[in-house]
Amino acid sequence: MARGSDPYSSYREWEKARLADQRAKEQATRRQEQERKAREREQAQADATARDEQATARNAAVEQRIEKLETLLRSSLTWDPRISLTTLRRRPDIAPPDLGSLAVPEPVPDWTDFAPEPPRGLARMLGGRQRHEMELRAAEDAFAKAQDGYREREASRQARLARARRAYGQAVADAERDAATHNAHLDRIAAGLRDGDRHAVSDYMEIVLAHSPYPDGFPTERHAGYVPESSLLAVEWYLPPVEIVPEHKSFRHIKTRKAVEPTIRPLTEIRQIYQRVIAQIALRTLREVFDAAPAGLISTIVFNGRVHAVDPVTGRRIQPHLITLRATREQFQPLVLSEPSSNPSSASADTSSPTSPPTPTNWSRSSPSCPTAWPTRAPSTPSTSSPTSTNAPT
């Protein structure tokens, strides 16, 4: 038997090749498993990093929100609440009319575009005259139809153009009338401010209050009523609900559960922050009104803070008062509002207040509803109390 045909020798080579192939497959399988586990570890690390970043971002958002709530008063001290009525004047700003294709008439039909070529030479001798007459009659009919269509389309265009111009003229007139009405109202306010008119002062102070910038989520409903006989301004301010305070204190990445979970803010802390928010709004409003009011017009402010809510017992919508405040300019001026360590709501513990503050059920500028006698701090002790009293929900 030849050496190359020895079956034992061939088997050993085959077995060696088979084992080598098996080892190669096992190594490839191990490499794939190692690569899979490496990808899983990388993905797990990426997911963990993303959850860390998510927790950090949420904590930053909560901290930023709390910072805005806690600095409602101090952050507004650089804001000049005075409003120049001149800057509020309006000018009718109407863009020129875009008439588009209506402003461009289409070309008038031209007979030269319809007239057939007259026969020439041999064609004229071989019946071309008769064919030309037939083509001429057909061209005349087509030209007549084109003229009729042109007249109809042009009449329609001119009618639509006239309507568009009338609409634009009406829009301009409406804009000019609205601007004139608005500017005339501003002129009446300006004149009334000089005379101490109750309606003019009320309107101006409502403009001042409306321009006071507050964070997102704060209501914008604010009313003012001026009593010139007593130089008193009554302010009715709709406060934000308690939900303005974030219910979550912080966020943590719980690695064992692979989740970002919140830490609930204690109810006592929510109540305390909310009370400080209300007190800051009241003091901030006093500062802005006193600073914005023309000299000598307002000597006393009554601030009534209300909130839109739902009675949990009846389910009816209610507007309870949460704070009522009365302060004179002399009482308010000694307060150091920029002091970081001061607590705007701390004075409420030292100031007695009714359980249910008076409610202006029928708001009227001519006779604003407000408490006639409200406890105020003594001017001689500006560092220990402020003219505030809160009745925030617990």
pLDDT, tens digit, 9 for 90 and up, residues 63-78: 999 999 999 999 999 9
Return mean pLDDT, the chain: 83
Q: Which of 183-197, 248-262, 376-390 has the lowest mean pLDDT?
A: 376-390
pLDDT value for 135: 83
For range 137-141, the mean pLDDT = 88
Confidence of residue 185 (pLDDT cuts 50, 70, 90): very high
Confidence of residue 95 (pLDDT cuts 50, 70, 90): confident
Q: Which of 213-222, 262-271, 325-334, 351-360 has the lowest mean pLDDT?
A: 351-360
pLDDT value for 159: 93
In this model, does residue 181 exceed pLDDT 90?
yes
pLDDT value for 115: 85
For range 303-323, the mean pLDDT = 93
- Report the alpha-carbon distance of residue 54 to residue 318 in Å, rounded: 38
pLDDT value for 357: 35
pLDDT value for 273: 95
* Rg of the chain taking only CA atoms, in angstroms: 42
pLDDT value for 14: 83
pLDDT value for 220: 94
Confidence of residue 94 (pLDDT cuts 50, 70, 90): confident
For range 73-90, the mean pLDDT = 94
pLDDT value for 317: 94
Model pTM? 0.70
Confidence of residue 392 (pLDDT cuts 50, 70, 90): very low
pLDDT value for 121: 60
Q: Which of 68-77, 129-138, 362-371 has the lowest mean pLDDT?
A: 362-371
